[in-house]
Amino acid sequence: MEKAGEMILQVKSEIGKSFSFLGEEIISPKEADYLSLGKAVRSRFSFYIGKALDIPVEKSLTLAVCAEIVHNASLLHDDCIDEAVLRRGRPTANSALGINKAILIGDLAMAAAFKKAENLSCEISSQLVAAVGKMAESALLEENFKNKLINRTDYYRVVSGKTSALFRWMAVSSAFFVKEPFFEKTAAAAENFGLAFQITDDAIDIENCGESGKDCLKDLSEGKCSMPLIIALENENFRRENETMIRDFFSSPVKDLAAAADIAAKIREGGFCAKARKEAEKKVLDIKDLICDFPNREGINEFYGLAMSICSRSF
């Protein structure tokens, strides 16, 4: 199997090819660049789980390209909803090109991903449509939960769709090419991977304010109850001392960044970001038993290594 870095370059190249045929009067290379890779976690996920299952690398490449296009299209739409100014340390499409173009580029990208998935099979393409539907449902659920103190169950409902759905699609689609019945195990491993990834993201948003290339304290400022805050509110002392203040913050139509920073400091000082990371690690530990009988031992180790690495990242 080729080195991951080389394969990620292939993914980037294939994403560019997916839009180049349309012509610059529809979408320019600069505009299409908003669909380029970020952390490329979904690409690595596709390649490593594909290797663990011993499927042809070209199948993993197509799955990776489709997933990255869908993911980045969803980010364009998210940034329009949130009126975000920065993404990964650069101006968002909506701030640079306008909200109309950002939405339309996202729509065009989704259609391109569905079409590309048909190269694998109509079933895999239809399952990608279903995954995107699940992502949209969960994004709406997240909107309905904004400025509310939710519990773990509600949090997992949101993340299972908004983050894990695309990982599940890649995993189950990879299992489609294997004779062994690995569908349930790949789906469960992908679910845990997505949860661990999002929980770690939540911790980073509070730990590294202003250093991750994202807007500072984005979750709190948008009225989202992330895992570190949920864990903090499960602590009787923290809840007694801070619940009223946090409710008042969420109920305010204009979020005070100084108040958000104060809440974040209390969460950090209470060790609740560290506890959130432990939750993420537990999700990853459960993956080991799910993938232990996959056919490629080297691939198993690389996939598990990727899963562990997402819990220790700081950006």
What's the one-letter identity of residue 278? K
Tokens of 284: 């990853």
**Helical ranges in the chain per DSSP H:** 4-20, 29-32, 41-53, 57-82, 93-96, 99-117, 122-145, 152-162, 164-175, 183-207, 218-221, 227-234, 236-251, 257-269, 272-291, 297-312
pLDDT at 191: 98
CA 211 to chain centre: 19
State percent of the chain over pLDDT 70: 97
What is the spatial distance between Cα 250 and Cα 237, in angstroms, rounded to a whole number? 20
SS3 39: coil
Phi/psi of residue 218, each to 5°? -60, -45
What's the domain range around 145? 4-312
Q: What average pLDDT score do residues 239-268 get?
A: 95
pLDDT at 59: 97
Contact 29, 276 (CB under 8 A): no
Question: For residue 72, what pLDDT is reported?
Answer: 93
**What is the band of 213 on the pLDDT scale with cuts at 50, 70, 90?**
very low
In the structure encoding, which two tokens stand for residue 248, read together? 């008042």
Whole-number pLDDT of residue 81: 87
Domain with residue 136: its CATH number is 1.10.600.10
What integer pLDDT is reported at residue 209 of this predicted model? 64
Total domains present in the chain: 1
